[in-house]
């Protein structure tokens, strides 16, 4: 996807070196429609530059910082030297992700998708998630629910979700906690069983989360959670332990939750 507007001063942009002169480098901005910027020789690299061609080559992919934009004169001033390695790496990855998302749009809506529909769908995803890639990623993780705040119709939502779940590699994290379950009642085994069933969510755990509860050694049980982020994983782990506590305390038993494994004599 290419933006039809202008970048803002301070933005990082990706482009290809189009022309090298003695006074600077012209860069075609890959993310913007028909936009070209100039990197003055003093902004190509730090220190004195003897030969500008020692620092850039025609066709090279570069990440630049936007210094100034003059729409009336169609001029965009850029800097290469003001971009550090970390910024460069992150921006290139972001650019690659958006290229992937652009292909996913074609997969979702077909090669014959009208430009007007592409723009409308893309603007909805950009407005809600900040990028096409983030929109597809959230659709892969949370399904149709993620797209409810957008103005996409039901057919468009299904197309995005189906394509996302077939193509997006969602990052997952794994965390573990432990719960001690005790009951001195005559039917204490049933009390613990009920608490374990509650910890497992009774079938109500969201699809994007994997949760398991396994026996370690009486009275200790391990809760494992696999989720799209630490925040979601931590929340579900705590919710699982809370369900177990509520269930067993309701039967007169007790529960203790902790992140690291413990023994009774600690």
Beta strands at 24-29 and 220-227: parallel, antiparallel or unpaired? unpaired
- 218: CATH: 3.30.70.1130
Return the SS3 of 185: coil
- What's the number of domains the chain is made of? 3
- 70: CATH: 2.40.50.140
Residue 265 in domain = no
Each residue's pLDDT tens digit, 67-97: 999 999 999 999 999 999 999 999 999 999 9
Distance CA 164, CA 107 (A): 10
Each residue's pLDDT tens digit, 128-148: 999 999 999 989 887 888 999
Residue 37 in domain = yes
Give the residue, 151 or 174, on which the prediction is more confident: 151
Do 102 and 53 belong together in one domain?
no
Do 182 and 253 belong together in one domain?
yes
Residue 137 in domain = yes
Residue 108 in domain = yes
Q: What are phi and psi of 67, to 5 degrees?
A: -90, -40
Each residue's pLDDT tens digit, 219-233: 999 999 998 877 888
The model carries a pTM of 0.64
Each residue's pLDDT tens digit, 109-122: 998 889 899 999 99
Tokens read off for 11 = 């933005």
When the pLDDT of each residue in the chain is averaged and rounded to a whole number, the result is 90
Residue 266 in domain = no
Helix residue ranges, H only, 110-262: 115-129, 132-142, 154-167, 188-199, 230-249
Inter-residue long-range contacts of 216-219, CB under 8 Å, 24+ positions, other chains counted = 216/178, 216/261, 219/180, 219/181, 219/182, 219/192, 219/264
Domain of residue 218: give its range.
173-258
Do 97 and 110 belong together in one domain?
yes
Each residue's pLDDT tens digit, 23-45: 999 999 999 989 999 999 999 99
Do 183 and 161 belong together in one domain?
no
């Amino acid at each position: 996807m290419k933006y039809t507007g202008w970048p803002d001063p301070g933005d990082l942009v990706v482009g290809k070196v189009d022309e090298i002169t003695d006074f600077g480098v012209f860069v075609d901005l890959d993310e913007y429609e028909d936009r070209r910027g100039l990197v003055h020789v003093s902004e190509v690299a730090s220190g004195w530059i003897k030969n500008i061609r020692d620092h850039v080559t025609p066709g090279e992919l570069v990440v630049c910082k936007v210094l100034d934009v003059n729409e009336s004169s169609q001029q965009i001033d850029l800097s290469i030297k003001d971009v550090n390695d970390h910024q460069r790496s992150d921006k290139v990855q972001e650019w690659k992700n958006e290229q992937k998302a652009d292909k996913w749009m074609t997969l979702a809506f077909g090669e014959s998708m009208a430009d007007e529909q592409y723009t409308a769908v893309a603007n909805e995803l950009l407005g809600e998630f900040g990028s096409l890639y983030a929109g597809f990623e959230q659709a892969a993780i949370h399904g149709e629910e993620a797209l409810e705040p957008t103005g996409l119709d039901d057919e468009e939502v299904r197309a995005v979700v189906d394509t996302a779940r077939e193509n997006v590699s969602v990052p997952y994290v794994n965390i573990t906690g432990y719960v001690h379950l005790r009951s001195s009642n005559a039917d204490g085994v049933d009390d613990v069983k009920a608490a374990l069933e509650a910890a497992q969510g009774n079938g109500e755990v969201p699809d994007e989360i994997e949760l398991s509860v396994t026996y370690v050694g009486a009275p200790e049980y391990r809760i494992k959670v696999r989720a799209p982020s630490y925040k979601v994983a931590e929340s579900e782990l705590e919710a699982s332990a809370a369900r177990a506590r509520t269930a067993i305390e309701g039967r007169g038993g007790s529960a203790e939750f902790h992140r690291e494994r413990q023994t009774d004599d600690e």
